Amino acid sequence: MALLRTRALGRADLSRALGLSKTALGDLIADLGAEGLVVENSVAENPSAENPSAENPSAENPVSLSAPRGRRPALLRVNARRAAVIGVELSATVFEYGIYDLTSTLLCVERLPSRRTEGEARVYSQLLGGIRTALERAGKLGYPVAAVGVAAPGPLDAQAGALLMPPAFPELHRLRLRSRLEGDLGLPVRLEHNSAAAATAFLRQHDGENFVYLLLLEQGIGAGLVMDRRVYRGAHGYAGEFGHVSLDVNGPPCPCGNRGCLERLADVDAICQAYAGRTQADLTLTRIVERAGQGEAAALEVLEGAGRAIGLAAAALVNLLDPSMLVLGGPGARASPFLIPAIRRELQGRAYPYLGWGEHLEIRACTLPNPVGRGAAECVLNALYRGDLPLTQPRPAIRPELTHTGPLNPPGG
């Protein structure tokens, strides 16, 4: 299944890749076909099949590695309609609920303002209600939902499925979110750190073995650390709290207990506050970026300051990890045209010069839409393809609408 996740393959290619005989592969394919998990057809005549979109490897463009000219072999592919997953982003400003099929294609998404300050009961009920609405939508689209992924600000314990003490959610500290949602939804749920989720989404769409994904949020800055194509989580699973690197021992206090943390100087709220402090104008980041584009000095200086703070903190990361790329994502990434030159200037002055950071380190903005919610979905899809979660969840409430998607497991099977 995992081999077919991003592209359609012929039996000969699969047989070679898996080291299976023709007969053994035939049995395997028959089993997967009976489950409705793979489909086999000969749509390779599609001329675009030779050049699938690099940005979207899950596009409906099958590729055959060995298709000879002339007669085209039948291709096997994942039956994208067999199941869906829900990817949820919890952030200080928005709760996002996306439905993704088995090839990571986004089917629909809803973004609602976060009610995070209204107490645990209300926040949880908003979250549960949003997921239930997404489940109903998936049912109407004809997809059974296999699992739910939730990406939230850290620190959190992904293994235990618990939020720890995210400053953006003071009323949800120590909430065992996964077990509570699993109990209420009757579905497997996975909890993921938001920056690790965004890095996972980026990793799936782009080449890049070693990179740092800087998630620039309204409140907070996280780092998804990717090493050898794996998201690094640290000894206790809490890695990535980049926003709490202290840059100024006498700086403004941070809810984490430290002072002068990066995110107090460079997250979206900090940029807007710095701008308001200079101009008395209460503007969104989008407007500040517009003004910077028009050459306004205050806007340019505020964005330069934020970029230099990020660059100063990132110099330590770069010296320690030697990444090939820094990726800026999240709402703050809309200031990338101004942040990136400032980050680069700071890195050139501070990261180890003999290692040639100026030439070799790529700094780019992530163009992937909704990377955090998408990453939450990718994390559960990864678990499904690894076999850590069952791909076939019986969902009696929505099964009647699935008759055209292929055979379902028999009841209790």
Helix axes 297-321, 285-293, angle to 10 degrees: 110
Rg, C-alpha atoms of the chain: 23
Choose, by CB under 5 A, the member of 256, 276, 298, 365 that binds Zn ion.
256
326 near Zn ion, rule: CB under 5 A: no
**160: three-class secondary structure by DSSP:** coil
145 near Zn ion, rule: CB under 5 A: no
- 3-state per-residue secondary structure call for 214-230: EEECCCCEEEEEEECCE
165 near Zn ion, rule: CB under 5 A: no
Q: How far is the CB of 263 from Zn ion (least distance, A)?
A: 6
217 near Zn ion, rule: CB under 5 A: no
Taking a C-beta distance cutoff of 8 angstroms, is the pair 137, 97 a contact?
A: no
Nearer to Zn ion, 96 or 267 (CB): 267
Q: How far is the CB of 316 from Zn ion (least distance, A)?
A: 15
Phi, psi of 232 (to 5 degrees): -85, 130
Nearer to Zn ion, 96 or 263 (CB): 263
**Token duo for residue 176:** 């065992």
Nearer to Zn ion, 217 or 292 (CB): 217
254 near Zn ion, rule: CB under 5 A: yes
Among candidate residues 199, 104, 204, 186, the one with its CA nearest the CA of residue 151: 199
Q: How far is the CB of 219 from Zn ion (least distance, A)?
A: 11
Choose one: 44-52, 118-126, 260-268, 302-310; the region binding Zn ion (CB under 5 A). Answer: 260-268
Nearer to Zn ion, 165 or 185 (CB): 165
The CA–CA distances, whole Å, from 260 to 264, 306, 313 equal: 6, 13, 12
Choose one: 150-158, 207-215, 256-264, 316-324; the region binding Zn ion (CB under 5 A). Answer: 256-264
Among candidate residues 104, 327, 334, the one with its CA nearest the CA of residue 204: 104
77 near Zn ion, rule: CB under 5 A: no
Taking a C-beta distance cutoff of 8 angstroms, is the pair 267, 220 a contact?
A: yes
Choose one: 19-27, 222-230, 241-249, 388-396; the region binding Zn ion (CB under 5 A). Answer: 241-249
Q: Report d(CA 362, CA 157) in Å as an integer.
A: 31
342 near Zn ion, rule: CB under 5 A: no
Q: How far is the CB of 217 from Zn ion (least distance, A)?
A: 13
Non-local (6+) Cβ contacts of 361 within 8 A are: 318, 323, 324, 325, 326, 347, 351
Q: Report d(CA 252, CA 249) in Å as an integer.
A: 9
Number of residues that bind Zn ion (CB under 5 A): 5
Choose one: 16-24, 182-190, 251-259, 321-329; the region binding Zn ion (CB under 5 A). Answer: 251-259
Choose, by CB under 5 A, the member of 56, 258, 284, 392 that binds Zn ion.
258
Choose, by CB under 5 A, the member of 212, 261, 361, 380 that binds Zn ion.
261
244 near Zn ion, rule: CB under 5 A: yes
240 near Zn ion, rule: CB under 5 A: no
Residues that bind Zn ion (CB under 5 A): 244, 254, 256, 258, 261
